[in-house]
Structure formats: structure tokens, C-alpha cells
A and B are shown apart, each in its own frame.
Chain A
């Protein structure tokens, strides 16, 4: 199957409308309204799922199957670890509410993230934060937009020491020995911050992978390093990032070319030369304590 740039733009427009009209109002009106006893435990109590995730996923899936009956669909809620695979066929990849903890606590950085992939690479991406009314959208070959404005990252140098990074605590919190992903992440954060390490300007944590990738795409963050998230957290943002001149590689050293479900990512902004991006990526990888390991 081939999808021309005009086809992709039509899909992008349809997704924008779907998220704005049907998903955004639910997220915006229900954030912060749940009491603790309504939480459903998933992996552990930190990873919170709500009935709204399920409600949104069902609504989006049904609308997409009506509009694009031949396309596949992978959603966070119906994903089965080890079983669900992302096919090389056109596949919608949905995170109904990215930043579930934000959603539950009323912190205004929850969003809906819906992408389309083919051959395990993103082709269309839409991320909508209804609290800040930020609609990020892009499709391959058609550029990236924030609301109605084309994203143009201000041209400026990119170096690790002068950068602000997105870094998150994540849901996996068990300590070793042997060293866990949590231990490795904490050590990497320490390396990135300390004076004799990366000595970065700072890091920011907004609690949403999709928002972090989008903030990198528009150049508010210089990069976002993460392990443990899933294809639905990054698929849409990845397309937006690429279309704004940014680059996505693996979070572990040496992984220049990764599939969408790799689960360890490094997103780097545009607004600079590709050689600068590559030098930045190598400099950041040098601070990674040890490769993060996730099943995918």
C-alpha cells in the first residue's frame, strides 16, 4: 500500500477533528475529578488507568474503523504484552490519555496522542492537550504545526552543556542489585546534571511523554531521553518531531535506527545542523550509565 502526501494530510485533518471534537472535551472536563478509590491498578499503583482511557479508546477505535476500515489499530488499553505486534501495514497507534497521573491529579499536561505508522515508522501524528489548547499535528512531507501555525524551530546552536532536557521518573521504581532500569536512570540523571558530567542547564518533567516529544519538536526542550514508554507514547510525537527538523534515535548508546516499539528513546530538536544533532546524541549517550532493558 502506498499513501501519498495528500492522503496523509487528509488523515491528519481527520484525526485533528476527532481529537478536538470528541476526545479533548472528555479529558478537559474530567481531569482531577476522580477520587483515589476509583483508580484501577495496572502494573502497580503508580501506573494509573481510568475508565476514561477505556471510554476514549473505544470511541476513537470505532470512529477510525468507520473512516479507514482496512487500517490496523493498536491502543494502550487493549495492548497485550508479548502478543500485540505493530504490523508493517498502516496502523493507528493510540494513547487515549497520555500523562494519566497528570490527568488524575489535575496537572494540566495530560493529552491524547494518535499516530499512524507504516513499516514501523510514523507517518502521521497528532497530540492534543485540551488544557493548554495545544494541538500539535504533522504528516510526512507536509510539515509540522502547532494549532494553525507552522512549527519553525529558532535556529541556534545545540550542545549538551547548554541544554534543557526532558527527564521523567517513570512508573518502574524497584531498586537493585542487580541494577534495575530505575537505578540506571537515576545514575544517568546524576551524570547528566553533575559538574564533571553533562552539567546541563537543567531538566524539566511534565509527566507526559507525548508532550515532552512535542515540546522538543517546537524547541522548548532541547531533547528528551526516556526508557519504558511504549509506541503509543511516542508514535505521534515522533512524526511531529521529524517534520520540524528534529531527530529520534534510541536512548541506549549506538542505536541510531530504532523501530517504533523500541521503548528506549532519545528525541532531539531541530533548528541546527544534522552534524550538531549527531554530536549532541553522542555526547548524551556518553552519560548513559548502562543500557536500559525492556521487553518489546
Chain B
């Protein structure tokens, strides 16, 4: 099967900017009635608009690419839905739902495609900032449709070292138990003068936006656990095309799948051997306190 990835990227960009974006923008901050995903988890929010948009995206994609599979946040069934080798769209209709409910301008739509489980197309669109970041494997990255020169962007950066980096961190919606403890202890280790002593952390409340921001050079890395394939699939492809790398959040996890549930994403650097990136990852992992575990 030959697939024109660039053409798919174009189509997804059009879908994101023309159909999905306007609805996210107009409905942001208007949804006071939201559901709680799982009983006690009163901070895991889903709205009616998430479901509507997923259907809209699904319908469009099925019509255009009837043989491709589709995984979406809202239609996902725990333990049943699996990423296979077939071409599969992996979609988060609204990434950053809490932002969406609170009208914090970092909700976006994130649409990715995997083939043989590898992210090969990624489109992220934030209608509040009118920022469209897209990529397809081997075709580089575009920002708002224009080629993004990631090489000169990175050429202007300092070497990638932990104590000069700005890292993105998000506590997520699980607020008790071992993973929550590991996360907060790791944050402390990263910030502490006796630990990673990073320049700072940022929290945008959207995994997809965070990955897009790393790809365009605003952030150095992103460490998280608890997210899903649809949160990272599109951003993963975009980051790959800028020389970035995604590994596991836990020490030693050099090779992971899209559905790993915990991730460390790192920007590209000026070192073609990849050694600078590897060293950064190893140093980062030293600050990770314990092992994050997800089903």
C-alpha cells in the first residue's frame, strides 16, 4: 500500500482549521455542564463538544479514507481498543479539555496517523492562537502552512543541558496514589538546586500544544505520565521531523510505542550524533523518583 502522507497532512490541516477549529474557538469557556469521566475523578473533564467533534472528524475521515482505522479519545474502549499495524488515525478532538472548559487559550485539536504503529502524519491546531503545526514523515514541518526551518531554529539555541533547560510538566487528573507521588517528587528533584536545577517549568495543560511548542523551539522537553496515544501521536510525528525524540518517562525506556502512557519528549539539538540528546535523557531520568505504572 502506497500512501501519500503529504496529501493526508494537507487534508487534515484543512479539516482542523476549517471544520474543527472554529467550533473549539466559539465554544471555549461556554461549557459549564461537563461530565466527570470516572466517578471520583472530579477533575477529569469531558464535554458534549468533545463527542460532537470526534464524530465530525470520524465522519470526514471515513468518507475520505474508508480503509483506515480510527482511534479517538471519546470512542476508546479500555482494554479493547489497540493500535495495530494498519494505517490508523489517532485523534484527540479537543486536547486540553480543562483549558477548553476554563477558556484558557491552549486547547487544540490533535490528529495523527500511524502506519505500522509509527506516527507518520501529525496535525495540531490551536484556534485561539491561530497556530497550525503540521508534519508528515520525510516531509518536514509546517507552521501555519509555511515550511518551518527547524535547522536554523536549533542552530540559534544553546547546547541542550538539563540545568539550562525549560521543561514542561503536567500533574494530570490522578491526584492520589503512587503515580501522583512519583510525579510531584520528580518535579521537586528537577527544580531543586541539589537536583536537576532546571531553568524552569511550564505547564500549558495540553500535551499536544506542549509537543508542538517543543518542535518550534519554545520548550526543551516534556515529561508526563497518564496520557494516551491520541495526546501524543500527532506531536510525535512533528517532533520527529525536527530532530526531536520521544522515549519513555521511566529510566531505561529507550524504545516505546505510541500507547506507552508515559513519555519523555526532547527537542532536537546541534549534534548530529544524538549524543547530546542521549546525555540529556540520561540526566533527566536521574531525577525520576520511582517508576510510573499505567494500565
Contact = CB atoms under 8 A, between A and B. Distances in A.
Contacts of B171: 193, 202-203
Interface in A173-222: 173-175, 182, 186, 189-190, 193-196, 199-207, 215, 219-222
Tell me which of A168, A195, A219 has the highest count of chain B C-beta atoms within 10 A of its own C-beta.
Answer: A195
A46 B197 contact: yes
A142 interface: no
Interface stretch (B97-105, B250-258, B275-283): B97-105
A295 interface: no
B193 A195 contact: no
Interface stretch (A104-112, A121-129, A280-288): A104-112
B27 interface: no
B184 A189 contact: yes
A181 to B, nearest CB: 12
A189 B218 CA distance: 25
B138 interface: no
Contact of A186 (B170, B188, B202, B205): B188
Contact of B192 (A101, A175, A190): A175
Interface stretch (B7-15, B157-165, B235-243): B157-165
A25 interface: no
Interface in B150-207: 156-159, 163-164, 166, 169-171, 175-176, 180, 184, 187-188, 191-194, 197, 199-205
Contact of B98 (A101, A156, A202): A202
A186 B163 CA distance: 19
Contacts of A107: 166, 202, 213, 218-219
B199 A46 contact: yes
Nearest to A164: B102
A132 interface: yes
Contacts of A220: 102-105
A36 interface: yes
A106 B153 CA distance: 10
Interface residues of B, number: 48
B56 interface: no
B166 A105 contact: yes
Contacts of A45: 163-164, 197
A271 B105 CA distance: 18
A60 B275 CA distance: 45
A169 interface: yes
Contacts of A204: 104, 106, 203-205
A32 interface: yes
Contacts of B129: 132
Given A106-B217, A154-B29, A200-B43, A207 B104 contact: no
A204 to B, nearest CB: 5
Contacts of A132: 129
B45 interface: yes
Given A161-B42, A220-B102, A106 B188 contact: no
Q: Which size class do A's interface residues fall under?
A: 35 or more
Given A107-B219, A201-B98, A196 B176 contact: yes
Interface majority SS on A: helix, strand, loop or mixed?
A: loop
A199 B175 contact: yes
Interface string A44-70: 111010000000000000000000000
A33 interface: yes
Nearest to B166: A105
Nearest to B43: A201
A35 interface: yes
Contacts of B180: 193-194
B98 A164 contact: yes
A154 B199 CA distance: 35
Nearest to B173: A202
Nearest to B219: A107
Nearest to B30: A154
A205 B29 CA distance: 19
Given A105-B166, A156-B32, A32 B217 contact: yes
B176 A101 contact: no
A289 B151 CA distance: 45
A215 B213 CA distance: 20
A221 B191 contact: no
Interface string A91-119: 00000000001001111100000000000
Contact of A173 (B42, B104, B197, B205): B197
B43 A199 contact: yes
A200 B42 CA distance: 9
Contacts of A168: 200
Contacts of A154: 29, 103
B176 A195 contact: yes
Interface of B: 29, 32, 40, 42-43, 45, 98-99, 101-106, 129, 156-159, 163-164, 166, 169-171, 175-176, 180, 184, 187-188, 191-194, 197, 199-205, 213, 217-220
16 contacts: A32-B157, A44-B193, A104-B199, A105-B219, A106-B217, A161-B42, A173-B197, A175-B194, A186-B188, A193-B175, A195-B176, A201-B98, A202-B171, A207-B200, A215-B104, A221-B102
Given A169-B201, A182-B191, A194-B176, 17 more contacts: A32-B217, A33-B156, A46-B199, A107-B213, A168-B200, A173-B192, A175-B194, A186-B191, A194-B180, A200-B43, A202-B43, A202-B205, A203-B171, A204-B205, A205-B201, A220-B103, A221-B104
Q: Nearest 4 A-B pairs (CB), nearest first?
A: A36-B158, A205-B203, A173-B193, A195-B176
